[in-house]
A = this chain, B = another copy of it.
Amino acid sequence: MRTEYHQELAELGTSLTQLCDLAATLIGHATRALLDADLELAEQVISDYGRVTALSTTAEERAISLLALQQPVAGDLRSIVSHLQCIGEVERMGALAVHVAKIVRQRHPQHVLPADIADQCAEMGRIAVELANDARTVVASGDPDKAARLREQDDAMDELHEHLLAALLDPGWRHGAGAAVDLALLGRFYERFADHAVEIGRRVVFEATGTLPPEQGIGTY
């Protein structure tokens, strides 16, 4: 019974790392679709989201059945509760990648990005992929120090996001209101994607130590 239990617990961990992998892939593809105005790749991101919901539903059911059948305590209980919460976070990361892809699809064959903003978005996309990959590593290793460091990468994302917002709100903005709206939303999607990765880090710290680190700030707005 115990062996089967630890196997189930390990499988729950595997489901969560697979979800992180998927989130990294989706935001990577969505960013490439955004930079290249690639409709096919955007459509692929949108349809791949079905894999996220399928995997997260299975993982959630597995977590609840572990709680019901094995009645874990202490560390194991924290671990399962933490996994349950991380599943929700990473599912949202997938949804945010889809939001990016949907803007690409909506504007196609036009490019969403003015040329002078493309580098900033590429960098936000790069950090997002890195954060999803690091969330995966942290979930797999349970290392609370590495988990806490996700916040530093998020600082880089926040800085890019504020920089982008400042450009959009500058009276010298010369790409029109439509492009500003798209970019405001894109910036928000990348920033939230990063926040969810940080939240996964907080949960892993809780799992390892029994104490939840302080909330992240909730940004300028």
Contact B220–A102 (Cβ < 8 Å):
yes
Instruction: Kindly provide the distance from the CB of A191 to the nearest chain B CB, expressed in whole angstroms.
Output: 11
A74 in complex: contacting residue of B57, B68, B173, CB < 8 Å: B68
A165 interface hit (Cβ, 8 Å): yes
**Which A84-109 residues have C-beta < 8 A from chain B?**
84-85, 88, 95, 98-100, 102-103, 106
Contact B169–A57 (Cβ < 8 Å):
no
| Number of chain A interface residues as a range | 35 or more
Contact B81–A64 (Cβ < 8 Å):
yes
A2 to B3, CA, bound (A): 31
CB neighbours (8 Å) of A102 from chain B are: 220-221
A77 to B66, CA, bound (A): 11
A102 to B219, CA, bound (A): 9
The stretch of A10-18, A133-141, A174-182 that contacts the partner chain: A174-182
CB neighbours (8 Å) of A173 from chain B are: 177-178
Contact A73–B68 (Cβ < 8 Å):
yes
A78 interface hit (Cβ, 8 Å): yes
A118 interface hit (Cβ, 8 Å): no
A156 interface hit (Cβ, 8 Å): no
A64 to B98, CA, bound (A): 33
A77 in complex: contacting residue of B68, B78, B88, B215, CB < 8 Å: B68
CB neighbours (8 Å) of A95 from chain B are: 218
Instruction: Kindly provide the distance from the CB of A184 to the nearest chain B CB, expressed in whole angstroms.
Output: 4
A92 to B78, CA, bound (A): 22
**Could you list 7 further interchain pairs (A-B, Cβ under 8 angstroms) beyond the known A64-B78, A102-B220, A175-B177?**
A60-B212, A68-B73, A85-B85, A85-B88, A168-B178, A173-B177, A185-B221
15 example contacts (A-B, Cβ-Cβ < 8 A) are as follows A57-B212, A81-B84, A84-B84, A95-B218, A102-B220, A102-B221, A106-B221, A169-B177, A169-B178, A169-B181, A173-B177, A175-B177, A180-B181, A180-B184, A184-B184
